[in-house]
Amino acid sequence: MVRGSLGKLASRALSVAGKWQHQQLRRLNIHEYQGAELMGKYGINVPRGAAAGSVEEVKNTLKNVFPSEKEIVVKSQILAGGRGLGTFKSGLQGGVHIVKAEEAESLAAKMLGQILVTKQTGPQGKIVSKVYLCEKLSLVNEMYFAITLDRNTAGPLIIACSKGGTSIEDLAEKYPDMIIKVPIDVFKGITDDDAAKVVDGLAPKTADRQSSIEQIKKLYELFCKSDCTLLEINPLAETADNKLVAADAKLNFDDNAAFRQKEIFAMRDTTQEDPREVAAAKADLNYIGLDGEIGCMVNGAGLAMATMDIIKLHGGTPANFLDVGGSASEGQVVEAFKILTSDDRVKAILVNIFGGIMKCDVIASGIVNAAKQVDLKVPVVVRLEGTNVDQGKRILKESGMTLITAEDLDDAAEKAVKASVK
């Protein structure tokens, strides 16, 4: 239930840079089973469970971890929300099932290696490489809990609701008074009073109040010590034995903290990511794949955003956000072209460089070398301006390449859109 459910509510705390800007990769996303293992290390109550990547592992897990369980929860593991209501391309309905223990192995076999399509994966879906086998909990109440980062208070913000297990956006729309927000002073940390306010907002029916306060404090400790950008639990549930349990959780981590969170970042599952973005990260390029037909290579995030906007203004659709930065090498430019041309949907490429720190001649040399290594089958529109622009234009002219040159951004976007429909 939890994957991606913060939506509109979180967007009020985390500003969005624009319509075409997807959330730029500054947060590692890990699987549910990995999040449960991490929370368990901090003393947070989680369901007993284990991940399995093959039918044989499923069989051993059932034998060693759940020898006496009558029912098992089998959860497909992909980095996307809506798994429960998803559909496998094989025809199997639902990525989360509660089944009899003797049926778990055959069900897992139908999930592993298959493509699961949900509202968040897009029609291409994501492959299920692991399933998470969990004990079936007897839940008496479901609530919502999240910690995110709030620009207004310049610190962590705890969001809680006494109802959970369903979309928090829907709850916020129907019952706005049920949503509570508790800002935390980043210098003081969470206090007993802060945690008590959260527990009062959750309004647990049977769970011990003091134990609940301690669980909230442990969740905050995990958020800070692990450099989280988001910790979302939906549902945060009460069990029949009067405990608060993180029944399903989503955790994101700040990529800037990778140097001190090596153990966490070792959990990264690149098979769940856009291969273009993985390649871009290796080349130290800022790339986000979109679904348009005009590939963009620009220096500077602001200029990249403006370039995508003006492409849209002229009736086109950008295929990506790609900022080569101010100090890109020829090699990085070559890699950028390889990434752009690997997208079958790209019908034209627009190179828009305003040379300041980034020099136009370096970009030009990169374009020429890229053309030698990559079979360019689509038209390339180039607009260069700034440092060493004359040298850059000369390099392109002497290369013999068939390029479409543009004098300014408006001219470049118009030519790129026209080239993409020929």
Integer Cα distance of 65 and 33 in angstroms: 15
pLDDT of residue 217: 98
Query: Of 135, 156, 175, which residue constitutes the final position of a domain?
Result: 135
Do residues 409 and 299 both lie within one domain?
yes
SS3 category, 54? coil
Q: For residue 117, what are the contacts with CB-CB under 8 A and spacing of at least 6?
A: 86, 87, 88, 89, 123, 124, 125
> Does the residue 111 lie in any domain?
yes
SS3 category, 116? strand
Integer Cα distance of 296 and 106 in angstroms: 46
Do residues 285 and 338 both lie within one domain?
yes
* Residue 240, number of CB atoms within 10 A of its CB: 10
Is 144 an annotated catalytic residue? yes
Q: Which of 68-82, 357-371, 379-393 has the lowest mean pLDDT?
A: 357-371
Q: pLDDT category, 362, cuts 50, 70, 90?
A: confident
Flag whether 86 is marked binding: no
Do residues 178 and 258 both lie within one domain?
yes
Flag whether 178 is marked binding: no
| Secondary structure element (H or E) that encloses residue 126, with its range | strand 126-127
Flag whether 356 is marked binding: yes
pLDDT of residue 26: 52
Do residues 87 and 190 both lie within one domain?
no
Q: Which of 327, 242, 302 is nearest to 20 (CA)?
A: 302
Query: Of 208, 240, 262, which residue constitutes the final position of a domain?
Result: 262
Do residues 119 and 229 both lie within one domain?
no
SS3 category, 176? helix
Do residues 108 and 163 both lie within one domain?
no
Integer Cα distance of 31 and 273 in angstroms: 12
Do residues 289 and 410 both lie within one domain?
yes
- pTM (2 decimals)? 0.75
Range of the domain at 206: 137-262
> Does the residue 2 lie in any domain?
no
Do residues 228 and 334 both lie within one domain?
no
For 243-359, where are the alpha helices, taking DSSP H only? 262-265, 275-282, 301-313, 330-341
Integer Cα distance of 20 and 147 in angstroms: 26
Do residues 289 and 213 both lie within one domain?
no
Q: Can you give the CATH number for the domain in which 287 is found?
A: 3.40.50.261
Flag whether 248 is marked binding: yes
pLDDT surpassing 90 at residue 22: no
* Residue 77, number of CB atoms within 10 A of its CB: 24
Do residues 142 and 258 both lie within one domain?
yes
Region 250-259: what's the mean pLDDT?
Answer: 92
pLDDT of residue 203: 93
> Does the residue 42 lie in any domain?
no
> Does the residue 22 lie in any domain?
no
The amino acid that residue 174 corresponds to is K
Do residues 389 and 298 both lie within one domain?
yes
Q: pLDDT category, 17, cuts 50, 70, 90?
A: very low
Q: Which among 33, 132, 220, 232 is annotated as catalytic?
A: 232
Flag whether 194 is marked binding: no
More confident residue, 369 or 253: 253
- Tell me the two tokens of residue 16: 């969005």
Q: pLDDT category, 7, cuts 50, 70, 90?
A: very low
> Does the residue 36 lie in any domain?
no
**How would you label 129-166 residue by residue, b for 16+ Cβ within 10 Å and e otherwise?**
bbbbbbeebeeebbbbbbbbbbeeeeebbbbbbbbbbe
Region 65-85: what's the mean pLDDT?
Answer: 92
Do residues 205 and 277 both lie within one domain?
no
- Asked whether the beta carbons of 125 and 89 are under 8 A apart, the reply is yes
Integer Cα distance of 73 and 194 in angstroms: 34
Flag whether 358 is marked binding: yes
pLDDT of residue 172: 82
> Does the residue 27 lie in any domain?
no
Q: For residue 172, what are the contacts with CB-CB under 8 A and spacing of at least 6?
A: 8, 9, 161, 179
Query: Of 135, 169, 187, which residue constitutes the final position of a domain?
Result: 135
Flag whether 308 is marked binding: no
- Tell me the two tokens of residue 74: 């089998």
> Does the residue 30 lie in any domain?
no
Q: Which among 33, 144, 220, 287 is annotated as catalytic?
A: 144
Is 232 an annotated catalytic residue? yes
Count of structural domains, the chain: 3
Q: Can you give the CATH number for the domain in which 91 is found?
A: 3.30.1490.20
Q: Can you give the CATH number for the domain in which 143 is found?
A: 3.30.470.20
> Does the residue 385 lie in any domain?
yes
pLDDT of residue 8: 43
